[in-house]
Amino acid sequence: MLLWDDVIRYARHGNPEPEYRVSKPDNEWRAQLTPEQYHVARQKGTERSFSSEMCNIFEPGIYACVCCSSELFDSTDKFQSGTGWPSFTQPVKSNAIAYYTDNSHGMQRIEAVCNTCGAHLGHVFPDGPEPSGLRYCINAVVLKKVIR
């Protein structure tokens, strides 16, 4: 289980290696994604809070990256945070997410990105429920539900 100290260590000293990497030229990402998905995933945008019904869906399943289909989160680690974005307490694997310090918008946060393709997902905060205390605040538009 990842804890806040692990997230900070990764952000400061380097992330775990992903199982594989996906890299595409910008024109291929633009062709593959909707304009909103491209803006959020490839340009570090943010969707409007409460704009997705995904916050209230708690059916079993895995959430994958819309860009590269890498598995990121399990629905068993999803919770209602009240923030307007889907929230999770853990990634499916410790190397699924990469972490970077984000000093934009006059605050310091930890950015969460897909460790396989570098897509911006959202941010992680140390105010989630126990046992991890983590809250991965993720843009719904960059997630897709997959059935195993």
Q: Could you tell me the pLDDT band of residue 46, with boundaries at 50, 70 and 90?
A: very high
- pLDDT score of 148 more than 80: no
Whether residue 131 has a cis bond before it, omega within 30° of 0: yes
**Dmax of the chain from CA atoms?**
42
CA atoms within 13 A on the CB side of 101: 10
**Structural domains counted in the chain:** 1
| Token pair of 4 as six digits | 């806040």
**Antiparallel, parallel or unpaired: β 62-65 and 143-146:** antiparallel
Q: Which helix (DSSP H) or strand (DSSP E) does residue 112 occupy? A: strand 109-114
Which of 69-73, 99-103, 110-114, 134-138 is predicted with the least confidence, judged by mean pLDDT?
A: 99-103
In the chain, what are the helix, strand and coil shares in percent, each to the nearest 5? 25, 25, 50
137 is annotated as an active-site residue: yes
What pTM does this model have? 0.95
57-94, pLDDT tens digit by residue?
899 999 999 999 999 999 999 999 999 999 999 999 99
Catalytic residue among 55, 68, 117, 137: 137
Structural domain range at position 48: 4-146
| Backbone dihedral angles phi then psi of residue 118, each to the nearest 5 degrees | 80, 10
Q: Report yes or no: 29 and 38 within 8 Å, Cβ to Cβ.
A: yes
CATH number of the CATH domain containing 13? 2.170.150.20
